[in-house]
Chain A
Amino acid sequence: MKLKYVGKRILIIIPTFIGITILAYFLSSMSPGDPIDMIVGPSQLSAEDIARLRHSYGLDQPVIIQYFHWFARMLQGNFGISYRTAEPVLGMILSRIGPTLLITITSVVVSVLLAIPMGVGAAVKPYSLWDYISSGISFLAAAAPNFFVGLLLVYIFGVSLKILPVSGMYTTASSKSFGDLVRHMILPVAVLAFQQIGNLIRQVRGSMLEVLQEDYIRTAREKGLKEGRIVIRHGLRNALIPVVTTIGMNLPFIVGGAVVTEQIFGWPGIGTLMVQSIHARDYPCIMGITVFIAIVVLIGNLITDLVYGLLDPRISYK
């Protein structure tokens, strides 16, 4: 049964993926400017040379045909050649994806670990001081633009206190120690985690409040179980199920945040690559990143969906 469910979920992903590739391709093909100009620079070649180049890149064919060629090549792992660096796009993306996954995944873990105690505490004692503090933080986190939070953190910890590095992954290319990496990760991860935590606290608090009113919690109380055990064993486990969905829905939003965050901290990830590519109008790279991110986000959504199914036995796998 589970296999069938997984299969069905994967089948739904396919049209979504194709939709995104169509969107990305046609948007890029609508863009102003001749790709040949981007590759060789304007007016260095004769008209015949340009025509030959155009033919060799397949640019003399209708857009729809070009799309199918591009799609077929992409399925074979060929994302084309960057106009900007003349390197294969896939290689550029693969070398940048690790740093991005490192800070985004860490930030998800950090924000969940912080949001759970804050949300649970707020739900156990509604309208207490703790509740006000945590909902204050959640409102602030939802309203503060992540680049402003980033700039403030750089200003406080990097410029004024001078206790944390504010740029790059390592201090020097030669000294790649784990401790150095962690110190460089603190601020970008803090920005990304802060961006997610508002939603999460609200979700944990809300679903915990709901769960604590269930019959089985009353039963547990009447059995004389200790309050802490009730909250954690019976309450939290059930309250966390919808939180998993929230994390899944946050994914696109986290990737968007990573673009800005990487830009501020000079983090060598996919976000900075995207910004560089857009400034250079490097369309093979822009399309490659778009498609690659789509794959990552869709897989992320699939995983959260499946985890949701695993956690909640009431969901039938049909």
Chain B
Amino acid sequence: MGNKNEKKNKKSSYMHDVLERFLSHKLAVVGLGLIILLIILVIVLPPLLELDPYTSHAQGGFNQKPSAAHWLGTDRTGRDIFARLVYGGRISLVVGILSTIVSMVIGIPLGLLAGYYRGWVETIIMRLADIFMSFPSMMLILVLVAVMGPSVISITVVLGILGWTQFARLIHSRVLSVREKEYVESAKAIGTKNWKIITKYILPNSFAPCLITMTFRTASSILMEASLSFLGMGVQPPTASWGNLMYDAQSIVVLSKQPWTWIPPGLCLVITVLSINFFGDGLRDALDPKMKI
């Protein structure tokens, strides 16, 4: 009994330290607050304000200026831009988060395999990671999207597949350091099975850095999706995303005469990515003060 309590106390004091370190990082707290606010807004606003991002409000004319009825005006087909901004936020966040999960699902097992079994498995996986990392992912993404056809799903999958290297490398290096530890050696000595060593010792030890990499990867996926959609090779209209809302601004007329159409999505992107990065920074300092990325 006493032992169990002690363990519990130790665990809660670790969490307490982490929380304390995180809360002392003011920008990280602000970042987390903004992320939560943003998620709530994109979920709650559409039903609350009865936003409709698809119907054309042609009676007031296309390309309307901001008004009480349309806070950010309407686009060239008469759709309400504020509604599209909110719905676009949903898509941008979902693509960012889902593609990161895809990256983890691919990268973590590969990193584990490479680190644990070594030999030719390691050589193949890590060389493959080098190949992926030495090449401009933007180019590969463009080629892949051209092949698969641009859609929300294909963008998510492509960004997810190309993000595996970060997780594989991270887990690989973690495994290499953990597998030399005495407790793993002793577990091996008493005949513990490989998968049990992996799930019991190696994965829990890699959780913190994985979480941190996850936040930064989500931020960069959001940016990549936006770039692709801006080029017209990402999320396709009528579905809105922050990137494709800015597609029209490639024409100098829209750019110069209707700044209210492209500045808000741009600002949303900057604020979102900035918040996620601040949050990730705070998380890193809190979970693992020695770690560097």
| A interface list, Cβ under 8 A from B | 15-16, 19-20, 23-24, 27-28, 30-32, 139-140, 142-148, 151-152, 154-155, 159, 166, 206, 251-253, 255-257, 259-260, 263-264, 274-275, 278-279, 281, 286, 289-290, 293-294, 297-298, 301
Contacts and interface: CB of A to CB of B under 8 A. Distances in A.
B269 A154 contact: no
Given A145-B243, A259-B142, 6 more contacts: A19-B128, A23-B140, A147-B230, A148-B270, A264-B250, A293-B136
Nearest to B267: A148
B41 to A, nearest CB: 19
A16 B277 contact: no
A142 B276 CA distance: 11
Q: Which 7 A-B pairs have the closest CB atoms?
A: A256-B138, A148-B266, A143-B273, A252-B136, A143-B274, A255-B136, A159-B256
A145 B232 CA distance: 15
Most buried by A among B246, B266, B292: B266
Interface in B242-258: 243, 246, 249-250, 252, 255-256
Nearest to B142: A278
B127 interface: yes
30 contacts: A16-B131, A19-B128, A20-B131, A23-B131, A23-B140, A24-B143, A27-B147, A32-B149, A142-B273, A143-B273, A143-B277, A145-B227, A145-B243, A146-B227, A147-B227, A148-B269, A151-B249, A151-B262, A155-B256, A155-B259, A159-B252, A252-B134, A252-B136, A253-B136, A255-B136, A255-B138, A260-B230, A293-B139, A294-B135, A297-B135
B137 interface: yes
Contact of A154 (B128, B142, B219, B255): B255
A145 B143 contact: no
B231 interface: yes
Contacts of B270: 140, 143-145, 148
A290 B146 CA distance: 13
A155 B260 CA distance: 12
Contact of B278 (A30, A31, A139, A166): A139
Q: Kindly name the residue among B138, B250, B252 whose own CB sees the greatest number of chain A CB atoms within 10 A.
A: B138
Contacts of B85: none
Interface residues of B, number: 44
Contacts of A166: 252
A142 B127 CA distance: 28
Given A16-B131, A260-B231, A275-B231, A140 B274 contact: yes
B147 A297 contact: no
A140 B137 CA distance: 22
A259 B231 contact: yes
Contacts of A301: 134
B97 interface: no
B287 interface: no
B281 to A, nearest CB: 9
